């Protein structure tokens, strides 16, 4: 473990393991975690990075970068960089997650940006959340006393990953189910105004002219996640192509869900959500 700097200069710790990182929260309960650092602001006047007074940088904690394979799931370490996720996870990573990771930043930024950092940004869910949500992933968070699993449904309801005192997101468990069709779209990026950003993640399993499984989530960054279980249940088992009535009903349910968002979606977002939903339904019909 190494420490550098003295107050009022930021105090930075670089633990070499998860255990060391967790232990550092005991004397420093207000410490902020520094993962890839790509979302931290650079002060343009001083060309320095605005660090918290006490920062725990996770870049040396190798045990947080592990990938483990189970029979029905893959566990991805919280400090895995996005490029590592694409490389190490290889063929095991669900295509929708790969696609979402590939369109984040540039390749150079993806060498720094981490899975945990993407999910635990201040006040907002990262771009990897919608695909993880439809995949049914779970997030493991750990502190010195133990660990707990956060289902993505809970995270979606809370609007962000809420870490308790001294907690670190240690791994993400992604179920390995077969979804022959996936849909991912992202509009805008971290620097785009809130009301012009949007994300879509959907999975579908058509089989023998029927829709055997279907999941759909929209991410409206300033407001939350739209996931309509009733719509998913309604469409699951339907014969393809969908009837005009079924399509209209699906779009009406999405419209209702937009209205129910805690903070209203902009007209731009409403238009795009409907456009994306139509695109998904049309693609299903083509199967």
The residues of the shown chain that bind another protein, judged by CB under 8 A, are 2, 4-5, 9-12, 14, 34, 37-38, 40, 42, 44, 47-51, 57, 59, 83, 86-87, 102, 105-109, 111-112, 191
Closest to another protein by CB, 10 or 199 = 10
Tokens 């997030």 belong to residue: 139
In terms of DSSP bridges, do strands 67-69 and 32-34 run parallel, antiparallel, or are they unpaired?
A: unpaired
DSSP 243: P
**C-alpha distances out from residue 16 to 19, 65, 80, 88, 114, Å:** 8, 12, 14, 21, 17
Closest to another protein by CB, 25 or 34 = 34
Q: How far is the CB of 87 from another protein (least distance, A)?
A: 7
Q: How far is the CB of 287 from another protein (least distance, A)?
A: 23
Q: How far is the CB of 153 from another protein (least distance, A)?
A: 33
Q: How far is the CB of 19 from another protein (least distance, A)?
A: 20
Contacts made by residues 187-193, CB under 8 angstroms, sequence distance 24+: 187/272, 189/105, 190/39
Q: How far is the CB of 197 from another protein (least distance, A)?
A: 17
Minimal CA–CA distance to 149: which of 129, 174, 131? 174
Closest to another protein by CB, 42 or 263 = 42
Tokens of 262: 């805690």
Q: How far is the CB of 282 from another protein (least distance, A)?
A: 23
Q: How far is the CB of 8 from another protein (least distance, A)?
A: 11
How far apart CA 115 and CA 122 sit, in angstroms, is 14
Closest to another protein by CB, 9 or 243 = 9
User: Taking the CA atoms of the chain, what radius of gyration do you get in angstroms?
Assistant: 20
Q: Measure CA 61 to chain center.
A: 21
Closest to another protein by CB, 111 or 249 = 111
Q: How far is the CB of 37 from another protein (least distance, A)?
A: 6
Closest to another protein by CB, 109 or 187 = 109
**C-alpha distances out from residue 77 to 37, 54, 107, 259, 263, Å:** 17, 23, 19, 36, 33
How far apart CA 81 and CA 88 sit, in angstroms, is 10
Tokens of 78: 């919280």
Mapping DSSP to helix (H, G, I), strand (E, B) and coil, where does residue 280 land?
helix
Q: How many CB atoms lie within 10 A of CB 232?
A: 20
Closest to another protein by CB, 80 or 242 = 80
Tokens of 48: 């320095």
Closest to another protein by CB, 43 or 178 = 43
């Amino acid at each position: 473990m190494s420490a550098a700097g003295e107050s009022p200069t930021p105090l930075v710790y670089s633990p070499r393991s998860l255990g060391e990182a967790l232990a550092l929260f005991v004397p420093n309960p207000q410490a902020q975690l520094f993962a890839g650092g790509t979302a931290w602001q650079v002060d343009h006047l001083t060309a320095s990075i605005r660090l918290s007074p006490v920062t725990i940088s996770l870049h040396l904690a190798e045990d947080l970068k592990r990938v483990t394979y189970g029979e029905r799931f893959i566990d991805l370490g919280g400090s895995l960089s996005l490029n590592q996720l694409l490389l190490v996870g290889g063929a095991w990573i669900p295509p929708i997650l790969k696609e979402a990771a590939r369109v984040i930043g540039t390749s150079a930024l993806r060498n720094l940006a981490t899975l945990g950092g993407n999910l635990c940004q201040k006040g907002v869910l990262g771009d990897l959340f919608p695909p993880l949500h439809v995949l049914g992933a779970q997030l493991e968070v750990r502190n010195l006393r133990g660990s707990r699993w956060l289902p993505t449904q809970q995270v979606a309801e809370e609007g962000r990953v809420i870490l308790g005192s001294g907690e670190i997101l240690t791994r993400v468990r992604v179920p390995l189910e077969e979804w022959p069709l996936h849909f991912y779209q992202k509009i805008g990026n971290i620097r785009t105004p809130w009301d012009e950003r949007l994300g879509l993640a959907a999975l579908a399993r058509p089989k023998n002219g029927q829709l055997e499984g279907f999941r759909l989530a929209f991410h409206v960054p300033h407001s939350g996640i739209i996931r309509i279980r009733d719509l998913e249940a309604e469409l699951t088992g339907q014969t393809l192509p969908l009837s005009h009535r079924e399509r209209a009903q699906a779009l009406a349910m999405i419209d209702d869900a937009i209205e129910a968002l805690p903070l209203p979606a902009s007209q731009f977002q409403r238009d795009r959500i409907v456009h994306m939903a139509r695109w998904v339904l049309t693609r299903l019909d083509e199967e």
